[in-house]
Amino acid sequence: MEKPKVNIDHNNKVISLRGLEKSFEDYAVLRGIDLDLYQGENLVVLGRSGSGKSVLIKLISGLLRPDKGTVEVLGNDVLALNDRQLRELRIRIGFSFQNSALYDSMTVRKNLEFPLVRNRKGITRKEIDAAVETVLDAVGLSQTINQMPAELSGGQRKRIGIARTLILNPEIMLYDEPTAGLDPITCIEINDLINEVQQNYKTSSIIITHDLTCAKMTGDRISMLIEGQFQRTGTFEEVFDTDDARIKPFFDYNFIA
């Protein structure tokens, strides 16, 4: 399926990273990352496992702090914010985790209600129920409302994880390996869902993946992360129209797979 056309505002940067570096002990994961995400855009960050893709979005959401560089999100310097300001900013960012990170001890309904109840003081029961219904409809899983996360399939967990982030109407979505561990058909459903979220919720997104189908279906722009740096950025065709020995095998092996 082709990616639907969307309006991207190239004059409005929602995320801007400059000279980002991050090491764990002696291992340098990110070595000078520059990145801009524009309003309404889906940017896919492709790279091998362990290349620092997940670290990148954790730096954006303030879960990790960089060793060097600047992180600007929705006009805020993330590194200069205090705890309260960071929490307020995070409400505007949706983070979909690789393993969904649903709260095991809560039903789907409670999982979805949790961010809403915590962040919208004075919200009524009726408004909560309506918001839960809306996001469950958006991900097509209304029937699971009273189920526990352990009763859901991998694809359903991913969808509920996305629904939980959508309930706060985020302006930015960060997807960490949205199709990892799923069968090809569920992968396509998740890719479609990412595009629907972009269109219906007017979000700008960074999608971390090593799945080329996901990259092709969801990305307006693709950045290839190799050895802690972006080696190539552009459309899918632009990125892979190369003889670069570090990029070509990535495409070939994915194609064979």
Partner 1 sequence: MDTASNIPPPAKKRRNGFIKGLGTFFKDIYKIHLFILRFFKEAFLPPFEFKEVIRQCYEVGVRSFTLISVTGFIVGFIFTKQSRPSLSTFGANSWLPSLVSIAIMRALAPLVTALIASGKVGSSIGAELGSMRVTEQIDAMEVSGTNPFKYLVCTRVLATTLTIPILATYTALIGLLGGYLNVATNEGISYTAFVQAFFQPLVFLDFTAALVKSIVFGFTIGIVGCYQGYYSDKGTEGVGKAANGAVVTAMFLVFIEEVIIVQITGNFR
Residues that bind partner 1 (CB under 8 A): 58, 61, 63, 83, 87-88, 90-91, 93, 95, 97-99, 101-104, 114-115, 118-119, 164-165, 168
Closest approach, Cβ 101 to partner 1, in A, equals 4
- Looking at the Cβ atoms of 64 and 188, the one nearer to partner 1 is 64
Beta strands in 86-134 (DSSP E): 93-96
Closest approach, Cβ 191 to partner 1, in A, equals 22
- Looking at the Cβ atoms of 84 and 126, the one nearer to partner 1 is 84
Closest approach, Cβ 51 to partner 1, in A, equals 18
- Looking at the Cβ atoms of 17 and 168, the one nearer to partner 1 is 168
- Looking at the Cβ atoms of 209 and 216, the one nearer to partner 1 is 209
Give the strand pairing for 229-234 and 204-209. Answer: unpaired
Closest approach, Cβ 159 to partner 1, in A, equals 15
Chain mean position to CA 118: 22
Give the strand pairing for 68-73 and 9-24. Answer: antiparallel
- Looking at the Cβ atoms of 13 and 90, the one nearer to partner 1 is 90
Closest approach, Cβ 232 to partner 1, in A, equals 29
DSSP string across 32-94:
EEEEEEEET-EEEEEE-TTSSHHHHHHHHTTSS--SEEEEEETTEEGGG--HHHHHHHHTTEE
**CA nearest neighbour of 235 among 245, 249, 225, 220:** 220
- In whole angstroms, what is the distance from residue 35 CA to residue 23 CA? 18
- Looking at the Cβ atoms of 164 and 221, the one nearer to partner 1 is 164
**What phi and psi values does residue 131 have, to the nearest 5 degrees?**
-65, -40
Positive or negative, the Cα torsion across 111, 135, 40, 180? positive
Helix (H) or strand (E) segment spanning residue 9:
strand 9-24
Closest approach, Cβ 180 to partner 1, in A, equals 13
